[in-house]
Amino acid sequence: MSGLFQFKNLRTPAQQQGSSPLAQSSTVMSDETFKLFRDFIYTKSGIFFNDSKKYLLEGRVSKRLSINKVSTFEEYLQLLKSSQGRGELSALYEAITINETYFFRAEQQFDALEQIIIPEIIASKGNSLGTTVRLWSSASSTGEEAYTMAIIINERLKKKYPHVRFQIMASDINSAVLETARQGIYKEYAIRNVPPNLLTKYFKKDGATYQLSDEIRRQVTFLNVNLFDSSAMRSMQNFDIIFCCNVLIYFDLASKQQVISGLYDSLNKNGHLIIGYSESLHGVSKAFKLIHLPKAMVYKKE
């Protein structure tokens, strides 16, 4: 997806002419309420809406009002802040973020992972009995990125390194996408890049959907982790490889810096951070060494 962190809604033509369709109902988000929402979302998640995204936020949040049977944005904000609002927070994240992902999305990065990064990490750990390689897909959405790692490891690395243990964690801020990930049932869109032999081997077609094999599903542990939550981040330690792809675009500079510094702390020495093709740590962090591999760029903790 270009501009990988696109939001789900653009302003409608009516909104662009200045008459919001929401104005036809009694619910309009005032500038003041927009700022309250923006600050609330930012403090909780690091996700930042600038002023030009007001209509977008209004459109997405307005759908949650009717679902929750509240009539104003202010009441909805109170609900989010209350103890009953915890589950609703996840639904709000789902409404305001894009969860697009698919298997073998970043092909060149996965090639680098298999051919260079994992072999180097195993070599640096001594390639001995008991060696463990820990991988983390840190904004996993519905799981395709983490499961792609598992398929690659199963297919191409387990035989080469029979004594090495591979542990794969995957996490997201949104519990609904994590539930989908655990089920491992995907539509055509998600599997379109899977090589045909691997599709036959690891997926069972069932009508219009594809069920991922238990063998691969068992290899990934899914957790709800907010990258912006320092205490949750402290529980994610000793990783050798972290994918943090297509999520930085949600953050402003300060939250990018906080998230990247947290990921740095989560990595072992010689660990690698992989971010999206359209993303960069330029101006965000100098802690990593940028490594130019033949087909991909990765950030190394030395």
Ligand X SMILES: C[S@@+](CC[C@H](N)C(=O)[O-])C[C@H]1O[C@@H](n2cnc3c(N)ncnc32)[C@H](O)[C@@H]1O
Residues making contact with ligand X (CB under 6 A) = 4, 45-47, 93, 97-101, 105, 139, 141, 145, 172-174, 177, 226-228, 245-247, 250, 276
282 and 8 Cβ atoms separated by less than 8 Å: no
Nearer to ligand X, 42 or 161 (CB): 42
Report, in Å, the least distance between residue 131 CB and ligand X: 26
Q: What is the CA radius of gyration of the chain?
A: 21
Nearer to ligand X, 27 or 148 (CB): 148
253 by Cβ neighbours in 10 Å (0-12 / 13-18 / 19+) ranks as: exposed
268 by Cβ neighbours in 10 Å (0-12 / 13-18 / 19+) ranks as: middle
Nearer to ligand X, 262 or 271 (CB): 262
Nearer to ligand X, 43 or 52 (CB): 43
Residue reference for tokens 């990783």: 239
Report, in Å, the least distance between residue 208 CB and ligand X: 22
106 and 276 Cβ atoms separated by less than 8 Å: yes
Report, in Å, the least distance between residue 97 CB and ligand X: 4
Report, in Å, the least distance between residue 237 CB and ligand X: 17
Alpha carbons 119 and 114: distance in angstroms, whole number: 7
Report, in Å, the least distance between residue 264 CB and ligand X: 16
Nearer to ligand X, 22 or 259 (CB): 259
Report, in Å, the least distance between residue 230 CB and ligand X: 12
Q: Which of 219, 264, 240 is nearest to 135 (CA)?
A: 240
Alpha carbons 121 and 240: distance in angstroms, whole number: 7
Residue reference for tokens 């609002």: 85
Of all residues in this chain, which one has the CB nearest to ligand X in the complex?
A: 101
Alpha carbons 112 and 293: distance in angstroms, whole number: 7
Nearer to ligand X, 46 or 184 (CB): 46
Report, in Å, the least distance between residue 157 CB and ligand X: 21
Q: Which of 243, 200, 244 is nearest to 46 (CA)?
A: 244
3-class DSSP state for residue 203? strand
Nearer to ligand X, 101 or 154 (CB): 101
